[in-house]
A and B are shown apart, each in its own frame.
Chain A
Amino acid sequence: QGQLVQSGAEVKKPGASVKVSCKASGYTFTRNGISWVRQAPGQGLEWMGWISTYNGNTNYAQKLQGRVTMTTDTFTTTAYMELRSLRSDDTAVYYCAGGANWSPFDYWGQGTLVTVSS
């Protein structure tokens, strides 16, 4: 069973960027892709995008196109999510999640709180 450990909480000013990391272990990193999901305070889950850990292909939610970049480092088995031009409504807990292709997410990171405030 895969395990994902994320980086710690961040506080950013509007207009800044944030980069969240997600360290994978317990499975072959390049076999399953990594998705990112966020959850604003008191709200539901929002799928942000996916990256193939095999070849780096990405698929982003349309509303985040142009502001989000997902990358991976196969040597350190770590995935990254960078979000730019932060706004107050980007304040959320950001999760990385994984599972087999064409399957739901059967393992999740613990979440990273990103607070955007002036």
Chain B
Amino acid sequence: EIVMTQSPATLSVSPGERATLSCRASQSVSSNLAWYQQKPGQAPRLLIYGASTRATGIPARFSGSGSGTEFTLTISSLQSEDFAVYYCQQYNNWPRGTFGQGTKLEIK
């Protein structure tokens, strides 16, 4: 089974600043990596797929990069609505789609 590891567990950033979240796979997942945002009481929302392609309606301040085993989600200028928990998911082993444990992005 492919294990996804996210870091840090919690990230404290001020509004307007940049946030960088990391995700590492235990083996190569090529570019089959997605990022989701989850707010309290809501289902996750797809942000990025194919490691770097924004999903429909996702603002340009969200960007993804990486391939193989190392991936990054960058939020260029944090807005109040961006404070949430972010999960990465590999789907290279589709239909088995394992998630990272999440990074909580909180207001500094």
Contact = CB atoms under 8 A, between A and B. Distances in A.
A102 interface: yes
A12 to B, nearest CB: 22
Q: Is the interface of B mostly helix, strand, loop or mixed?
A: loop
B46 to A, nearest CB: 5
Q: Classify chain A's interface size.
A: 20 to 34
B55 interface: yes
B24 to A, nearest CB: 15
Contacts of A109: 43
B71 interface: no
B100 A104 contact: no
Interface string B87-98: 101010011111
Given A102-B91, A103-B49, A95 B43 contact: yes
B87 A45 contact: yes
Given A62-B1, A108-B43, A109-B43, A45 B99 contact: yes
13 contacts: A33-B95, A45-B36, A45-B38, A45-B87, A45-B102, A47-B98, A50-B96, A59-B95, A62-B1, A101-B95, A104-B49, A104-B91, A105-B34
